[in-house]
Amino acid sequence: MKLLVGLLVATVASTVSAGPYPFEVEESHFAYQLKSFRQSLDECAEYLEVPPEVVDRFVARNFVTNERDLKCLIRCAGINSGWWSDGSGVQTPVIESYFQPACGDIAYRRRTKECGVSKLAVCQDDCSKAYETFLCYYHQYGNLKCSEEYIPLTHLEAVQAAIDCLNVLQVPIDLLEQYCAGVIPDVPMTHCIYRCQYLAEGLYDTAYGFNLTRFYIRHHDYPSLEYLSDNTKACTEVALRENCDECTRVYRARRCFSGCNPNSVHTANILKHAAEHMLRGDAVESAGPYNNALIKLPAPKPSVPVPSPYPAYLPPKPACGYCNNSPPKGGCKYCQA
């Protein structure tokens, strides 16, 4: 596994960090991943105890098989790479990144879609569905690449990355409470949180700017090719040249994606759930792809309220204790009599 971008965390994962919170938060050292299809296949062969020589023979025969175990191997590789889910099927932006269409071919998407519809209609189990879907891309979409490709974070992984960002940047509790209530104030700390999250997910690089292909893959639930358009690229480049600090430039560049998915609140939802976990002090599943340990966050201790430097927001009368298990002494911050 190759880790490319990590957050600036000084302590090791087994220690707890000092910060502005009345409770301890353990850091995960999360980073996004790149993998080739063959890497995912070989890892799955170990998981499923398929001998290496069987895998080599399978690949040499262009993945032709009637064996259920090898079909399940393809399904595992799809889960491992992020392009397959038994619940929702193929994630097209993700699997597309593993194939290269031929130059001049303008019908590869149509052929692949038609193939998937006809093949999946007769599949009876999830392994067969994943296998036939892969074969449709293998035969109709383009050549299978050997390169390592971007794996989008699952929601739990993205939330853990956000917890790391909130902790590393020492976001104050009153701002966490606003994130928890679904309110994202347009303030400098929020700008830097977005930059941190984009770095953690591999979507932004200080030297090269935004990786729009990865944005397209990240939003595989709403696969808009507008992420890949020249207009979106030009818009982000202009935004990153604005005369302000880097965090603000990155945050303002969000407007460039409004045409890709006008209803997207993807990052806001991630921050909301991360803040909920931190304030509630409950268990958060570690984002490491092979580390299923639970991070135990102790229950928050009472703290002395201090005036907030951030704008005050009052969402429409949510229930008391929205962010915490019980309202703080003196009443719930977001509830009115």
Q: Which domains does the chain have, with CATH numbers?
A: 34-150 (1.10.238.20), 153-295 (1.10.238.20)
pLDDT > 60? residue 298: no
Q: What angle do CA 221, 227, 230 make, to 5 degrees?
A: 165
Place of tokens 């102790």: 298
Average of per-residue pLDDT across 87-92: 93
Backbone angles phi, psi at 294, to 5 degrees: -100, 135
Asked whether the predicted pLDDT for residue 336 surpasses 50, the reply is no
Least trusted range by pLDDT, from 294-298, 305-309, 315-319 = 294-298
Q: What is the pLDDT of residue 202?
A: 92
Q: How far is residue 104 from each of residues 112, 159, 222, 230, measured CA to CA in Å?
A: 16, 41, 26, 20
Q: Are 45 and 26 in contact (CB under 8 A)?
A: no
Instruction: Flag the least confident range among 30-39, 46-55, 113-122, 169-178.
Output: 30-39
Q: Which residue has the higher pLDDT, 314 or 45?
A: 45
**Which range, of 12-16, 70-74, 175-179, 263-267, averages the lowest pLDDT?**
12-16
Span 239-270, pLDDT tens digits: 999 999 999 999 999 989 987 877 678 899 99
Instruction: Please give the pLDDT value at position 76.
Output: 98
Mean pLDDT, range 221-250, rounded to an integer: 92
Strand partners, 84: 90
Measure the CA–CA gap between 76 and 63, rounded to whole angstroms.
14
Q: What mean pLDDT is predicted for residues 149-172?
A: 93
Query: Sign of torsion, CA 83 73 80 284?
Result: positive
Q: Which of 5-9, 84-88, 146-150, 315-319 has the lowest mean pLDDT?
A: 5-9
A 10 A CB-CB count for 107 gives 10
Beta bridge partners of 105: none
Mark 169-195 as b/e (b = at least 16 C-beta within 10 Å): bebebebbbbbbbbbbeeeebbbbbbb
| Mean pLDDT score across all residues of the chain | 80
In the predicted model, is pLDDT for residue 179 greater than 80? yes
Beta bridge partners of 144: 99
Mean pLDDT of 144-150: 95
What's the predicted TM-score (pTM) here? 0.73
